[in-house]
Structure 1
Amino acid sequence: MHGSQFEVGDRVSLPPASVALPRHNSRGVRDVRIIAEECPVALVYDGTTVAVVMATPADLTDLALGFSLTEGIIHDSSEVEELTIIPGPDGIELRLWLRRDPGRRLKERRRQLVGPTGCGLCGIDSLRQAVRLLRPVRHSAGLTPQQIGEAIATLTHSQTLNHQTHATHAAGFFTPDNKSMMVREDVGRHNALDKLAGALAADGTFGFGGAVILTSRISVEMVQKTAAIGAGVIVGMSAPTALAVRTAAASGITLVGIARGSEFEIFSHPTRIINDGSPREEA
Structure 2
Amino acid sequence: MVHNKLKVIKFSNDSLIETTDVAAIEYPLTIYVDGEEFATIVCTPTHLNELVIGFLASEGMIRFKEDITLLEIDESRGFAYVELKIKQSINKEMFSKRMIGSCCGKSRQFYFHNDAKTAKTIMSKQLISIAQCFSLMNQMQMNSTDFQLTGGVHNAALCTTDQLLFSYSDVGRHNALDKLFGHCIQSNMPLKDKIIVFSGRISSEVVLKVAKIGAGILLSKSAPTSLGIDLAADLGITVVGFIRNDQLNIYSHPERIIEANQINKEPEPSC
Place the TM-score, normalised by the shorter chain, in its bin.
0.7 to 0.9
Normalised to the residue count of structure 1, the TM-score between the two structures is 0.82
Q: Distance in 2 between matches of 1:183 and 1:111?
A: 31
Aligned residue for 1:124?
96
Cα deviation, residue 137, structure 1: 0.6
Aligned counterparts of 1:191 and 1:67: Cα–Cα separation in 2: 8
**Equivalent position SS for 2:61:** coil
CA RMSD of aligned residues (A): 1.8
Contact 2:5 2:21 in 1 (8 A): yes
Q: When the two structures are aligned, how many residues end up with a matched partner? A: 247
Structure number with the higher strand fraction is: 2
Distance change >3 Å, CA 180–CA 239, structure 1 → 2: closer
Per-residue deviation, 1:261: 5.1
Conserved 8 A contact 2:121-2:236: yes
Deviation of 1:111 (Å): 5.1
Aligned equivalents of 1:265, 1:145: Cα separation in 2: 10
The AA in structure 1 aligned to 2:80 is: L
**3-state SS in 1 of match to 2:186:** helix
Structure 2 CA distance for partners of 1:111 and 1:163, relative to 1, 3 Å: closer
Match of 2:124 among 118, 122, 139: 139
Structure 2 counterpart of 1:174: 159
Distance in 2 (CA, whole Å) between partners of 1:204 and 1:166 is 32
Distance across 2 between alignment mates of 1:111 and 1:239: 32
CA deviation vs aligned residue, 1:188-229 (integer Å, no higher than 9, x gap): 000011011111222222221211111111001111110111
Which secondary structure does the structure 2 equivalent of 1:19 belong to?
Answer: strand
State how far apart, in whole Å, the 1-side matches of 2:134 and 2:165 are. 13
Cross-structure match for 1:257: 241
2:158 touches 2:164 (CA, 8 Å); kept in 1? Answer: no
Among 60, 63, 71, which residue is 1:83 paired with? 71
Cα distance in 2 for residues equivalent to 1:36 and 1:135: 33
Is the partner of 2:121 in helix, strand or coil? Answer: coil
Higher Cα radius of gyration: 2
2:136 alignment partner, SS class = helix
Contact 2:136 2:164 in 1 (8 A): no
Per the normalisation by structure 2, the TM-score is: 0.86
Change (3 A) 1:210 1:261: farther
Q: What is the aligned partner in structure 2 of residue 215 from structure 1?
A: 199
Residue identity (%): 28
Query: How far off is 1:43 after superposition?
Result: 1.8
Instruction: Output the amino acid matched with 1:99.
Output: K
| Structure 1 unaligned residues grouped into runs of 5+ | 1-15, 114-122
Aligned to 1:159: 144
Choose from 205, 215, 224 the match for 1:231.
Answer: 215
User: Could you tell me which residue of structure 2 aligns to residue 244 of structure 1?
Assistant: 228
